[in-house]
Amino acid sequence: MSTEIEEAGAVRTRVALKTRSLSVHYGDSPAVRDITLEVPTNRIVAFIGPSGCGKSTLLRCFNRMNDLIPAARVDGEVLFHGRDLYAPDVDPVEVRRKVGMVFQKPNPFPKSIFENVAFGLRINGFKDDIGERVEQSLRAAALWEEVKNRLDAGALSLSGGQQQRLCIARALAVEPEILLMDEPASALDPTATSRIEDLIRDLKRDYTIVIVTHNMQQAARVSDETAFLYLGELIEFNETERLFTNPDNERTEAYITGRFG
Partner 1 sequence: MSAPPFGPHGAEHVTAPTAPSIDPRGGRFEPRIETRRRKGRVFQALCLGAVIFGIASLVVLLVDVAADGLDVLSIDFLTRYASRIPSRAGIRAPILGSLWVMALVAAVSFPLGVGAALYLEEYAPKSWFTRMLQTNIANLAGVPSIVYGILGLAVFVRFFALGRSVLAGALTLALLILPVIIISAQEAIRAVPNSLREASYGLGATRWQTIRHQVLPVAMPGILTGTILALSRAIGETAPLIMIGALTFIAFDPATPLDSFTVLPIQIYNWVTLPQEEFRHLAAGGIVVLLTALLLMNASAIVLRNRYRKKL
Q: Which residues bind partner 1 (CB under 8 A)?
A: 63, 65, 68, 70, 92-94, 96-97, 100-101, 103, 105, 107-111, 119-120, 123-124, 154, 167, 170-171, 174
**3-class SS at 110?**
coil
- Give the H or E element holding residue 41: none
Question: How many Å apart are CA 104 and CA 184, to the nearest integer?
Answer: 5
Which residue type occupies 57? T
Closest approach, Cβ 105 to partner 1, in A, equals 6
Which is nearer to partner 1, 103 or 144 (by Cβ)? 103
Residues 6+ positions from 243 with CB-CB distance below 8 Å: 225, 226, 228, 236, 252, 256
Q: How far is CA 65 from CA 52, 73, 187, in A?
A: 17, 12, 21
Which is nearer to partner 1, 50 or 92 (by Cβ)? 92
Which is nearer to partner 1, 7 or 91 (by Cβ)? 91
Task: State the DSSP code for 176.
Answer: -
Closest approach, Cβ 189 to partner 1, in A, equals 20
Question: How many Å apart are CA 182 and CA 103, to the nearest integer?
Answer: 5
**Taking every pair of C-alpha atoms in the chain, what is the biggest distance, in angstroms?**
54
Q: How far is CA 210 from CA 43, 203, 246, 248, in A?
A: 8, 12, 22, 22
Which is nearer to partner 1, 152 or 241 (by Cβ)? 152
Closest approach, Cβ 251 to partner 1, in A, equals 30
Which is nearer to partner 1, 210 or 220 (by Cβ)? 210
Which is nearer to partner 1, 16 or 101 (by Cβ)? 101
Q: Distance of alpha carbon 187 from its chain centroid, rounded? A: 16
Closest approach, Cβ 149 to partner 1, in A, equals 21
Closest approach, Cβ 136 to partner 1, in A, equals 16
Closest approach, Cβ 157 to partner 1, in A, equals 11
